[in-house]
Amino acid sequence: NPRIFYNDARAALDDVRGMQDTAVSLIPADRPTAAPKPETALPAPRTTLSISGVYTRTEQDDPAIVTSGTWQTLSTSPGSGGSYMRSNTAGSSASFSFSGPWVAVGLLGDRFSGDAEIFIDGVSQGVVSTYRRETTPFSLHFSGLADTNHVISVTVVGTAVPQALSTYVYVDYVDVWNGTPPADGRFEENDPRVILSSSARFANSPVASGGAYAFRTDMTTWFPFHGDSFSYQAFAYTGGGLVQLSVDGQFLTTVDLFNWTQITRTFSFTGFTPGMHLLQVTGFYGNNTVDVMATPGTPPFTDPNPPPGAFTRYEAHHPDFRYNGLPFPSMGSSWTRTTASAADASGGQVIESFTIGDVASLTFNGSWASIGFGTGFGAGQAEVFLDGVSQGILDLYRREDGVTSLTLGSIGAGTHTISATVLGGGDLRIDYVDVWDGTPLPDGTFDWEDGRFYLSDTWFRTTNAGARGGDFLETDRGTVWFPFSGDTVSFESFFTSQLKSARLYVDDAYVGTFDLSGSSAPTPTLSLDGLGSGVHVLRVEHYRGRLSLNAFRTPGTAPFIQPPPPPSGFTRIEEDADDWLYNGLPYTQTVTSWSRVDNIFSSGASDGQYMQTSAVGNTAVYTINGASFGVGFVGERRGGQAEIFIDGVSQGVIDTFRQDITPLSAYFHGLPNTTHTISITLLSTAHPNVGGSPTLYFDYLDVWDGTPLPDGFFEEDDSRVFRSPAWYDVNDAGASGGAYVDTGLNADSNMWFPFEGDSVTFQAMAFPSGARDAVRVWVDGVPQGVLNLYSQTPVTRPVSFGGFGPGLHVLTIERYQGETTVDGFAAPGTAPFYQPPTFTGLVRYEEDGGDILYNGYHYALRPTTWNASFPGSASERGIISSSTPGDTASLTFYGSWFNLGMRTRSNYGTAEIFVDGVSQGVITLTAPVEGPISFPFGGFITGTHALSVTVLSGAVVLDYVDVWDGTPVSDDFLNARMTEQNGRIHFGSGIGTYANPDAIDGDYSAVTLLNTPGNVWYTFVGDSFTYYAFSRTFGGTAEVYVDGVYTATVDLDYDFSEMPLAFHFTGLPYGPHVVRIKNGLNMRVDGFAANPQSLASYQPMVEWSDDTPAGNGAPFFGTVGIAASIAAGDVTGDGTTDSVIAAVSYVDVGTPDRKRGEEGNRGDGDGSSS
């Protein structure tokens, strides 16, 4: 199998077999395990196990094992029977009497283990060290004994090798063979002949022999066999790992049980001496599995120690590695095998040491070599030697965990020793050594099945018919290495929606960071040339998003990567560009007080990433040619203050504190077009409302060299447009270019468009799900307004902004509420130019509008005790609340009356209202039902007043403040239309506007769902008003509140047609009022008017009807009805309205007849007709 490799972690390549026969691919620890369920555990441990009476295992807690001295019993996963006993008291012993020619004693070793002396029949068999760097079961075997009674004993010596931390001896079991050969054959994993540790679990699979297999990461398997060979059949899958085989206590080999699909994999070994043997299979990394054991073994037989191939990777745990002169199993405790900082390492693990002077070395044959290391903020310096000659000192510190290598190149054929010595400053992480013998490596295209490359352990396979072989590999964090011969190479990715960027290295040299997400090709490809002859290693590292791997090609195919041209025109330099210096160093090598944020918290940043620091005095510096510069930040509740310098001259301080995440920028113009150095420094000062340590969130640098920027229309996906990552494409024939982008409900989504000149146009798509306050617009960091993207039907909506003057400007689009869309941009803009609406008379100040101050601060700068939320029933979506006594919401206004829009709930509290410092009383917001409420206050002298709402207890929730400035307001009909913002009608969410020719002005507004908590507000001055609803033939209701007081529930049902329904409310005290229409069921609102002159219905309405036949059909018919239509008009010319029915007379058949009812005929005085 191409994934099998032998002799521990060595992968070999020679000119006969090719690397595809032996390449290594280690276990991905975070891949989903393919082991089918359910799992079943072993039965309870047994103290004695007998195999056909010829082979017996006795556990250490069996009374037959007699102890002296001090011993204690402890549990263990990999040990036999689930427990062992240990002692570190010199002279303590464990003895067992048996009969037979063969015996084995099972021990456990770890870093606390010491020396043990073994006696048989009182004769010492020698002192053995039981020390192991990692917890490992092993055994000692004694054969050729007389077939008679014996006593074997294990005695604690009380000494240990220098690297041991104690002198413990761990005893696990004793195996005895009576001399009779056990049966040959195949034995399933649940056969008594296959001895499993208590940690083993069973899983079903149709692929496995017998339909099941045993597995576990800490499982140990023992198989006693007689003769010179055996076969071990394992279950290989994506959860399979590295397992180590030993026979009679002697290490045999390491095999790999990883496979991209479920298969069984058989390993057969031969050449053992005749007689009894014990195979042990121990998990090393990942899941250990066993499906079948067989004896004798069946060919083909495996070479446990194949010769090196043309290209060989020696993983750090290879038996040939030495750590302070010792092989991995017995290395000192200053060396540790770890996966903690090795997600990017080959095979997903490294061996590390913090101890200065520790040495890792490997002796090998070859003519070229490279040594790989793990890097990170905990790594230090190491000196590399080849054959005792220093090759230099490496600083392995990196701001983030990763990998690096030192390629020694051509070193001459022969035996060499490479070593790395810990110098200090952190740990040394050994990853691998690559060796090449000079034989050219095969050319070709190599996909995931060919095994030509090496992987970290975080890759997973994805099926796609468009990929080579129908599958490709992906990782959210990982590395792949591809060795090749020659001057060129190609890396072929596979496009997915999550594909982002990768970093490429060749022979340690950084090539660049490449964004693969913008490719239109299904297999984005990066090709390199000019690499020179000989062997090379291409390393591809995941950087952001997801990295995919479809294939490697050698030789590479054009086009080849060319050095980027120097910046020209407008350039956005992202925070992670290679030339940024953070505290004077590239980010990869800077101090840990700088960190890169690429997750949900940075989703609104340009390209979805920013750098952050909380360390005062930290600096970010960039040097570049330009005449105008802009610095982008992310405003946040922990945002600190930063000073910006250009060529050492301060340009001022920017405060990046914002209570809600907001894009911020500052632009500087008029500089000579030459080289400048821009520097950003975090200051010790901060806004008083900052929550936590003041932090700088740095996003980008914009540079313009004065080259004119082209005018025209630019689609949303144009290279001139920059955006955060959460936008997604929507195909729409009505959009410019047939598509637009949408944020959905992704909260932090922004877009930037640089332009030159005085004006610009932003074109959005407006549609029924758009919000009235959907998007905030900024130019050069200055707010321009909040735009309404609601429309009854999808339509492009261009909005133009002007008056910016000549030169560079940058338009920023920020998603604010609901969905935000972008269809394109145009420069210059076209009239009319946007002017923010201004209102007089009755004015509503929303909680987030900026006029209301919170503890004296603007909404964006409010203290953290004021929290925003967005219930659907709130006016224009938002509310704000505080539970901190003494917190204030204040508004300075001109007028004589105001109305507080608040909210109630069962656990809300109280607030005191002040005007000009004088208390107006305490309001209580506790109510059994949560929802809006209003509190009007009037009678003030028309003028400027200071309103304050002070929290007394519990939660106080503010929605809006209405103010009347004393000027007259129109009584005329106002249409309740979502596309209009007239200052008098306000909407909650869950409401849409719908066209209907029978509605006033051709449309009405209604709840989008029948029982959504929708509200519509209307303000007026007077003593009466009319609510124009719009009828439903299948019923509906609306609740009417005036000045916060429930007034009525109106019925919107009208069986005969859909039409405006006029509900008049009179008898109010003259003055300003606030009406709220609340959805009962299927609420509809057509509009409002104040102080109606007539209380008549908007249109004539049927007040009574009866469909009982009443006509006289004589002489030919009985009693019948009238088949007719009805019309209204002044038939007689007397100035009154007549209801006219045109019909056929059945008295004089064939003669037209007219039935007429005049106004007032019902006699009820309401002017209706009957």
Residue 1002 is given by DSSP the state: G
Residue with tokens 């002799």: 7
Tokens of 341: 């900082």
Q: Are 730 and 744 in contact (CB under 8 A)?
A: no
Question: 842-964: what fold?
Answer: Jelly Rolls (2.60.120)
Angstrom distance (rounded) from CA 239 to CA 287: 6
* Residue-level pLDDT at 1166: 42
Backbone angles phi, psi at 5, to 5 degrees: -140, 160
pTM above 0.95, yes or no: no
Beta strands per DSSP E along 516-618: 525-528, 535-544, 547-549, 551-554, 570-574, 581-582, 594-597, 610-613
Q: Are 1091 and 1024 in contact (CB under 8 A)?
A: yes
The full set of domain ranges for the chain reads 23-41+183-295, 55-177, 311-436, 444-554, 570-704, 712-827, 842-964, 974-1090, 1111-1158
Q: Are 307 and 271 in contact (CB under 8 A)?
A: no
Integer CA distances (angstroms), 792 to 616, 742, 876, 1054, in order: 52, 18, 18, 25
Query: Which of 194, 13, 169, 23 lies closest to 106, judged by CA?
Result: 169
Angstrom distance (rounded) from CA 338 to CA 345: 11
- 1094 C-beta neighbours (distance < 10 Å), count: 10
Residue with tokens 């009969």: 99
Specify the length of the chain in residues: 1170
* Residue-level pLDDT at 1099: 84
Angstrom distance (rounded) from CA 483 to CA 453: 7
| DSSP H or E segment with residue 881 | strand 879-882
Query: Which of 538, 537, 534, 555 lies closest to 367, judged by CA?
Result: 534
Q: 3-class SS at 292?
A: strand
Q: Are 353 and 428 in contact (CB under 8 A)?
A: yes
Query: Which of 621, 600, 541, 575 lies closest to 722, judged by CA?
Result: 575
Write out the CATH class of domain 311-436: mainly beta
CATH number at 444-554: 2.60.120.260
* Residue-level pLDDT at 1138: 57
Amino acid at site 196: L
Integer CA distances (angstroms), 157 to 114, 166, 334, 988, in order: 8, 12, 24, 83
Question: 712-827: what fold?
Answer: Jelly Rolls (2.60.120)
Q: Are 12 and 242 in contact (CB under 8 A)?
A: no
Angstrom distance (rounded) from CA 606 to CA 617: 24
Residues of the chain with pLDDT under 50: 1-39, 42-45, 1144-1170
Angstrom distance (rounded) from CA 289 to CA 468: 30
Q: DSSP letters along 898-923, please?
A: EEEEEEEBTTB-EEEEEETTEEEEEE
Angstrom distance (rounded) from CA 481 to CA 505: 9
* Residue-level pLDDT at 1100: 83
**Do 570-704 and 712-827 come out as alike in CATH topology?**
yes
Q: Are 289 and 214 in contact (CB under 8 A)?
A: yes
Question: 55-177: what fold?
Answer: Jelly Rolls (2.60.120)
Residue with tokens 């890759």: 459
Sign of CA dihedral 1157, 1160, 1162, 1168: positive
* Residue-level pLDDT at 142: 98
Angstrom distance (rounded) from CA 663 to CA 174: 71
Assign domain 570-704 to its CATH superfamily.
Galactose-binding domain-like (2.60.120.260)
Angstrom distance (rounded) from CA 814 to CA 771: 13
Integer CA distances (angstroms), 1038 to 17, 189, 985, 1081, in order: 82, 72, 16, 7
Contacts of 15 (CB under 8 A, 6+ apart): 310, 439
* Start-end of H helices in 170-294: none
End-to-end CA gap in the chain:
95
Residue with tokens 């509290």: 909
Residue with tokens 């964004």: 515
Percentage of the chain surpassing pLDDT 90?
83
Environment class of residue 944 by beta-carbon count within 10 Å: exposed (0-12), middle (13-18) or buried (19+)? exposed
Strand 842-846 versus strand 918-924 pairing type: unpaired
Integer CA distances (angstroms), 798 to 653, 757, 822, 979, 982, in order: 35, 18, 10, 14, 20
Angstrom distance (rounded) from CA 449 to CA 467: 12
Integer CA distances (angstroms), 852 to 134, 862, 954, in order: 65, 10, 21
Q: DSSP letters along 37-97, please?
A: S--EE--S--SEEEETTTEEEEETTSTTEEEES--EEEE-SSSGGGEEEEE-STT-EEEEE
Q: Which residues of 845-874 are buried (b: 16+ CB within 10 A; e: fewer)?
A: bbbbbebbbbbebebebbbebbeeeebebb
Environment class of residue 221 by beta-carbon count within 10 Å: exposed (0-12), middle (13-18) or buried (19+)? buried
| Residue 92 backbone zone (phi > 0: left; psi -120 to 50: alpha; other: beta) | beta
Q: Does the domain made of 974-1090 have the CATH classification 2.40.50.140? A: no
Residue 855 is given by DSSP the state: T
* Residue-level pLDDT at 4: 28
Question: 23-41+183-295: what fold?
Answer: Jelly Rolls (2.60.120)
Is the bond into 828 cis (omega within 30 degrees of 0)?
yes
Q: DSSP letters along 248-271, please?
A: TTEEEEEEE-B-SS-EEEEEEEE-
Q: 3-class SS at 589?
A: helix
